[in-house]
Amino acid sequence: MAGVIRQVGAFKLSRNRNYYLVLCKAIIGQQISTKAAESISNRFVKIFKDSGVTPKRVSSLSDNQLREIGLSGQKVKYIKDLSMKFLDGTIRPRRMPYLENDEIIHQLTGVYGIGTWTAEMFLIFSLNRLDVLPVGDLGLKAGMKQLYNMRTLPTSERVRALGKKWHPFETVGTWYTWRTLDEGIIAY
Residue ranges per structural domain of the chain: 19-125, 133-179
Q: Please indicate, yes or no, whether the overall pTM of this predicted structure exceeds 0.75.
A: yes
> Which ranges of 63-131 does DSSP label H, i.e. alpha helix?
63-68, 73-87, 101-109, 116-125
**Average pLDDT value for residue range 48-59:** 90
The domain over range 19-125 is classified in CATH as 2.130.10.10: no
Report the percentage of the chain scoring pLDDT > 70: 97
Q: What is the pLDDT of residues 25-38, one digit of tens each?
A: 999 988 888 788 89
Contact call for residues 100 and 127 (beta carbons, < 8 A): no
| Residue 49, pLDDT score | 83
Q: Which of 14-18, 66-70, 114-118, 152-156 has the lowest mean pLDDT?
A: 14-18
Integer Cα distance of 54 and 168 in angstroms: 34
Output the CA–CA distances (angstroms, integers) from residue 92 to 22, 103, 167, in the order listed. 14, 12, 28
Q: What is the dihedral of CA 154, 159, 162, 168, to 10 degrees?
A: 160
Q: Is 103 helix (H, G, I), strand (E, B) or coil?
A: helix
Q: What is the pLDDT of residues 133-184, one digit of tens each?
A: 999 999 899 999 999 999 999 999 999 999 999 999 999 999 999 988 876 5
| Residue 37, pLDDT score | 87
**139, burial (CB in 10 Å: exposed 0-12, middle 13-18, buried 19+):** middle
